[in-house]
Structure 1
């Protein structure tokens, strides 16, 4: 079901058009939209914009880290680096456009490379050893890599909805 809040995506057109962010709409909630951009290997940049239903506050966060579902679960893995872009408790029609401007400044400064480096270090030697890290490194990462190898890193195969012979 489409939420009225989803129209906020129109405030992020520069990220979509000039910086090739994608809109994984299947991962949106009524009160949350996300944009994602593949950076390198298993590393992504996620932009999460949300409205808090209980008080109407608006928030935009930027995450740099490993492939994952872009939602609150990103906090459970220390390799995912969060940047608070903006938070506003009043209805401000320019808020999301201003947040986009701040994100563009971060991207253009070259900071994503440094954040990816931090994320890579966290994957090798995590600051926090928790169950999420173990599951991610022992199972999910191996699964992602296996899928990529089986598809020979071909995005057309990965995006296809057709069943491949011999794969179920």
Structure 2
């Protein structure tokens, strides 16, 4: 359940609102260079110009086209502008419609995570039944599993409400 929650947090964090949130995604994009794939952070400097603008300056100028292609292939919803020695990225402003679509995507991810947590609960309850313990012990185990399930679903709901505030308050 903890793994499901951590994965959800990572996915929701990646859903962008501005340059700060997109930075962590850009750092991990893998760029083909020197016969292998390296994370962008290892071959360039990424700077936040302001809330909606970033620059990527490769340490080796010959890699600029590879970085440009990697950013485009990542399909993040924006196009980099090649300025010769650096890439300039302008993040589009979120409209009301794009905010609503973003919330729909987040809600879908939230619901899938809840289903996964309930699936874990079901599997654990089945495992307890297969152990053929006494009724008291199996009830204690099932109650513990149910309590843990409720805790993780509450954590998911809190995560959703925090992200909803962040998206709708900008």
- Would the TM-score normalized by the shorter structure come out above 0.5? no
Larger Rg: 2
Question: Larger relative CO (CA 8 A, sep 6+): 1 or 2?
Answer: 2
The structure where strand makes up a greater share of residues is: 1
Provide TM-score, normalisation by structure 1.
Answer: 0.26
Provide TM-score, normalisation by structure 2.
Answer: 0.25
